[in-house]
Amino acid sequence: MKQLWGSRFSKGLDKMTNDFNSSLSFDQRLYKYDIQGSAAHAQMLGAQGILTQDECNKIVNALNEILHKIESGQVEFDYELEDIHTQVEKLLINKIGETGKKVHTARSRNDQVALDIRMFLKDEEHEVQKLLIKVINVLLQLSKKHLNTIMSGYTHLQRAQAITFAHHLGAYVEMFKRDHERLEDAYKRINISPLGAGALAGTPHNIDRNKTAELLGFDGIALNSLDAVSDRDFAVEFISSMSIIMMHLSRFCEEIILWASSEFKFIELDDAFATGSSLMPQKKNPDIAELIRGKTGRVYGDLMAILTVMKSLPLAYNKDMQEDKECLFDALDTVKMCLAILPEMLATIKVNKENMLKSVKDGFLNATDAADYLVKKGVPFRDAHEIAGKLVSKAIEKKTSLDELELTDYKAENKLFENDIYDAIAAENTVKARTVIGAPSPEAVSKVIAINEEWIKKHD
The domain ranges of the chain are 6-105, 121-152+162-194+223-355, 358-459
Helical (H) or strand (E) element with 114: helix 109-145
pLDDT of residue 12: 67
Average confidence (pLDDT) over 79-87:
94
Per-residue pLDDT for 334 more than 80? yes
Is 277 noted as a catalytic residue in this protein?
yes
Q: How far is CA 401 from the centre of its chain?
A: 43
pLDDT, tens only, 312-330: 999 999 999 999 999 999 9
- Indicate if the pLDDT at residue 3 is higher than 80: no
* CA distance readout (Å), 258 to 168, 239, 252, 358, 399: 14, 28, 10, 16, 27
Question: What gap in Å lies between CA 300 and CA 311, rounded to an integer?
Answer: 16
Q: What percent of the chain has pLDDT over 70?
A: 97
Mean pLDDT taken over the chain: 95
CA angle 399/404/408 to nearest 5° reads 100
Q: What SS3 class is residue 303?
A: helix
Domains 6-105 and 121-152+162-194+223-355 share a fold: no
DSSP 148-189: T-EEEEEETTEEEEEEEHHHHHHHHHHHHHHHHHHHHHHHHH
Residue 20: predicted pLDDT: 74
Active-site entry in 156, 262, 278, 312: 156
Quote the pLDDT of residue 17: 72
User: Is the CB of residue 130 less than 8 Å from the CB of residue 145?
Assistant: no
Domain 358-459 maps to which CATH number in 1.10.40.30, 1.10.1750.10, 3.30.70.270, 1.10.3720.10? Answer: 1.10.40.30
Angle made by CA atoms 129, 130, 131, in degrees to the nearest 5: 90
Q: The pTM is what?
A: 0.93
Q: Note the pLDDT tens digit of each residue in 353-375.
A: 999 999 998 889 999 999 999 99
Q: In angstroms, what CA-CA distances link 99 with 2, 62, 90? A: 19, 11, 12
- If one compares 289 and 11, the residue with the highest pLDDT of the two is 289
Q: Using one digit for the tens of pLDDT, what is the confidence trace for 166-198?
A: 999 999 999 999 999 999 999 999 999 999 999
220 three-class SS: strand
Q: By C-alpha distance, which of 319, 288, 328, 283 is closest to 128?
A: 328
Three-class SS of residue 85? helix
Please give the class, per CATH, of domain 121-152+162-194+223-355.
mainly alpha
- Find the catalytic residue in 25, 261, 277, 393: 277
Tell me the average pLDDT across 386-399. 95
For the stretch 130-154, pLDDT in tens is: 999 999 999 999 999 999 999 999 9
CA 207 to chain CA centroid, Å, is 38
Quote the CA–CA distance of 122 and 188 in Å, as a whole number. 10
CATH of domain 6-105: 1.10.275.10
Ordered alpha helix ranges (H), 313-402: 324-346, 353-361, 367-375, 381-397
Chain centre to alpha carbon of residue 240: 9
Q: How far apart are CA 387 and CA 96, in angstroms?
A: 88
Higher pLDDT, 105 or 18: 105
Question: Is residue 312 annotated as a catalytic residue, yes or no?
Answer: no
pLDDT at 6: 58
Q: Are 70 and 7 in contact (CB under 8 A)?
A: no
